[in-house]
């Protein structure tokens, strides 16, 4: 295989961009970072801030199956050694199910689940021993959530898919770490709550992306199953093991 690379989806903002920034600063065995997002012009603007790694900006809409060929063909042409895959692309829309549009509801499943599965399937043939997969999940996956029903359900899929995948990849010595933050102060949270005020609970437990990503990279390096930042979200996870979900 060729050069060692990291692939980050959803790299044009929020958690995805923070992963790119920290990978560039702290991971020394990576030659190149492939940044994937719908807004290629934004990727190219952000790429100017990367100082250690070479960057490849790949503009593709992961909700469109036709765009998947862009990544597929790039991988086939370059035959890279993918050391790290970060599936950070995601979308959410808060509100009662009948109050959001059908397009918004379906897009959450398409990007959070369908695209994540597709990218993981495309990239795995290029991953070798000690490679790492970080799946951006959410503490929303731990319980069904009123007025966030589709998003929470989509993240529950990510959680259970990733647990099964982790077991399947054990013999190949490829680790899967499931990143489950609570509310993070990013563009994602502002868009998902558009037209709504943040709940007092979200405001109370909101954190910046930097420490969440920092811990996620450490947890992935240690091959941990979960990366859950902060005691409040760890308490929510533990509660999910014992409290009924209905």
Q: Is the dihedral of CA 18, 20, 21, 26 positive or negative?
A: positive
**Mean per-residue pLDDT, 193-220:** 80
**Mean per-residue pLDDT, 162-178:** 98
| Confidence band of 202 (pLDDT split at 50, 70, 90) | low
220 domain-assigned: yes
Cα 212 off chain centre by: 12
168 domain-assigned: yes
- Would you state the pLDDT for residue 97? 96
Percent share of the chain, pLDDT over 70:
93
pLDDT over threshold 70, residue 219: yes
Torsion of Cα atoms, 187 then 181 then 202 then 144, to 10°: 110
Kindly report, residue by residue over 12-49, the tens digit of the pLDDT.
999 999 999 999 998 778 999 999 999 999 999 999 88
191 domain-assigned: yes
Give the DSSP H or E segment for 83.
Answer: strand 81-87
**Mean per-residue pLDDT, 208-224:** 97
Q: State the Cα angle at 39 between 156 and 199, rounded to 5°.
A: 45
Kindly report, residue by residue over 129-148, the tens digit of the pLDDT.
999 999 999 999 999 999 99
141 domain-assigned: yes
Helix axes 149-168, 102-109, angle to 10 degrees: 10
pLDDT over threshold 80, residue 231: yes
246 domain-assigned: no
> Which of these ranges, 25-39, 43-57, 107-121, 191-205, has the smallest mean pLDDT?
191-205
**Mean per-residue pLDDT, 178-192:** 81
| Confidence band of 170 (pLDDT split at 50, 70, 90) | very high
**Mean per-residue pLDDT, 121-135:** 98
CATH number, domain of 91, equals: 3.40.50.720
- pTM for this predicted structure: 0.93
245 domain-assigned: no
Q: What is the domain count for the chain? A: 1
Give the DSSP H or E segment for 136.
Answer: strand 132-136
Whole-angstrom Cα distance, residue 198 to residue 189? 9
Mean of per-residue pLDDT scores for the chain: 92
Greater confidence, 101 or 199?
101
pLDDT over threshold 70, residue 67: yes
pLDDT over threshold 60, residue 198: no
- Would you state the pLDDT for residue 29? 86
Percent share of the chain, pLDDT over 90:
79
| Confidence band of 236 (pLDDT split at 50, 70, 90) | confident
**Mean per-residue pLDDT, 52-76:** 95
**What range defines the domain where residue 96 resides?**
4-240
């Amino acid at each position: 295989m060729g050069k060692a690379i990291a692939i980050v989806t959803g790299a044009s903002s929020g958690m995805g961009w923070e992963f790119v920034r920290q990978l560039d600063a702290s991971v020394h065995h990576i030659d190149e970072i492939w940044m994937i997002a719908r807004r290629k012009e934004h990727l190219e603007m952000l790429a100017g801030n990367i100082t250690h790694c070479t960057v490849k900006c790949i503009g593709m809409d992961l909700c469109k199956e036709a765009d998947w060929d862009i990544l597929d063909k790039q991988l086939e042409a370059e035959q890279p050694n993918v050391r790290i895959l970060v599936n950070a692309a995601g979308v959410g829309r808060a509100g009662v199910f009948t109050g959001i549009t059908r397009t918004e509801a379906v897009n959450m499943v398409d990007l959070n689940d369908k695209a994540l599965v597709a990218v993981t399937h495309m990239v795995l043939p290029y991953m070798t021993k000690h490679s790492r997969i970080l799946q951006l999940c959410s503490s929303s996956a731990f319980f069904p959530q009123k007025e966030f029903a589709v998003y929470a359900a989509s993240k529950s899929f990510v959680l259970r898919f990733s647990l099964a995948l982790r077991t399947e990849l054990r013999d190949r010595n490829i680790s899967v770490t499931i990143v489950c933050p609570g509310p993070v102060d990013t563009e994602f949270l502002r868009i998902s709550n558009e037209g709504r005020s943040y709940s007092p609970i979200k405001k109370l437990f909101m954190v910046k992306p930097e420490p969440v990503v920092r811990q996620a990279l450490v947890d992935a390096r240690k091959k941990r199953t979960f990366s859950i930042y902060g005691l409040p979200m760890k308490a929510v996870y533990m509660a999910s093991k014992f409290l009924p979900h209905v």
